[in-house]
Amino acid sequence: MRRLLGCLWIALCVLPAQGAPLPVTEIAPGVFVHQGAHEEFGDGYHGDIANIGFVIGAEAIAVIDTGGSFRIGQALRDAIRSRSSLPIRYVINTHVHSDHIFGNAAFEPDQPQFIGHRKLAAAMRMRAEVYQANLRTMLGTAADGSRVVLPTREVAAELVLDLGGRKLQLRAWAPAHTDHDLTVFDDQTASLWMGDLLFVERAPSIDGDVKGWIAAIATLEAMPAAIAIPGHGPVVANKATFLARQRRYLQVLVDDLKRGIAAGLPMQQTVRDAAASERSHWQLFDSVNLRNAELLYPALEWE
């Protein structure tokens, strides 16, 4: 009962009522984050599982990821408009996954630059049809208005955006969580939007290059940041702790799969047991880890 009440309480607090602004927290001056819930895609998915937010400068506003539906994007826009009437000049997507991008269309009236990694547009084009069909299946009419909106400006390596009095440094990464991850660093508050290059609490899902991701973690560790905003889970001050946890999971998964393959164990068994020692450390572990293991196994088998 307590658990049920807890869930209800969370649902009431986290989910915006239809037409209400999305709840956001000002984690540093002018930096606002909405934390998504730890839920899987599928039954019960409501499009609000990723961390999204915005940064307000003296002259303009940048949005960083827009949520998993048009409706969430609109609620995010309402949250911005209840705080500032400055122009929303930039909408930045950290990567293609549908929980991060389907709110883009809600910002089209602002005519912002839509910004992403130079490989984002290709990923969006390739997935748009399936993503939109899946969203309709999961959300029904709550998916209304949700469309894939392509970037209008691409980041090949780095890009600096001036919001007036503060600059955002965008960085395009080599394949890691996906093949088109983008991070955003706010120089005024030293806060780093990490997209899904960092998962906190929720099991990290792999859709790019696991070795590249492990390598990226070393670079991310060295980046100065007072505050880190992960793609999922709470904002953290000590990103090194959480990057280390994530590296440990990724490495254990790879090592366990390799060990099973080397021992000639059946694929099903190897995939099922991989990274079992990590199970208690992560939320949504069973479903996410199985997907990861099934994805990695064929490539590792060929090594």
Measured from the CB of residue 112, what is the shortest distance to Zn ion in angstroms? 22
Q: Which residue, 199 or 260, is less far from Zn ion as judged by CB?
A: 199
- The region of 37-45, 95-103, 149-157, 262-270 touching Zn ion under the rule CB under 5 A is 95-103
Q: For tokens 């989910």, what's the residue?
A: 15
User: Taking CB under 5 A as the rule, does residue 181 contact Zn ion?
Assistant: no
CB 183 within 8 A of CB 94: yes
CB 64 within 8 A of CB 193: yes
Measured from the CB of residue 167, what is the shortest distance to Zn ion in angstroms? 26
Measured from the CB of residue 273, what is the shortest distance to Zn ion in angstroms? 25
User: Taking CB under 5 A as the rule, does residue 117 contact Zn ion?
Assistant: no
Q: Which residue, 149 or 198, is less far from Zn ion as judged by CB?
A: 198
User: Taking CB under 5 A as the rule, does residue 119 contact Zn ion?
Assistant: no
User: 165: closest CA among 34, 76, 90, 61?
Assistant: 61
Residues 205 to 244 in contact with Zn ion, rule: CB under 5 A: none
Q: How far apart are CA 51 and CA 136, in angstroms?
A: 21
- The region of 21-29, 188-196, 217-225, 244-252 touching Zn ion under the rule CB under 5 A is 188-196
Measured from the CB of residue 196, what is the shortest distance to Zn ion in angstroms? 3
User: Taking CB under 5 A as the rule, does residue 71 contact Zn ion?
Assistant: no
Output the CA torsion sign for 92, 98, 100, 103: positive
Q: Which residue, 166 or 247, is less far from Zn ion as judged by CB?
A: 247
Interacting residues of 109 by C-beta distance below 8 A, sequence separation 6+: none
Measured from the CB of residue 52, what is the shortest distance to Zn ion in angstroms? 12
- Edge-to-edge strand ranges of the sheet holding 113-117: 25-28, 31-34, 52-56, 61-64, 88-92, 113-117, 153-155
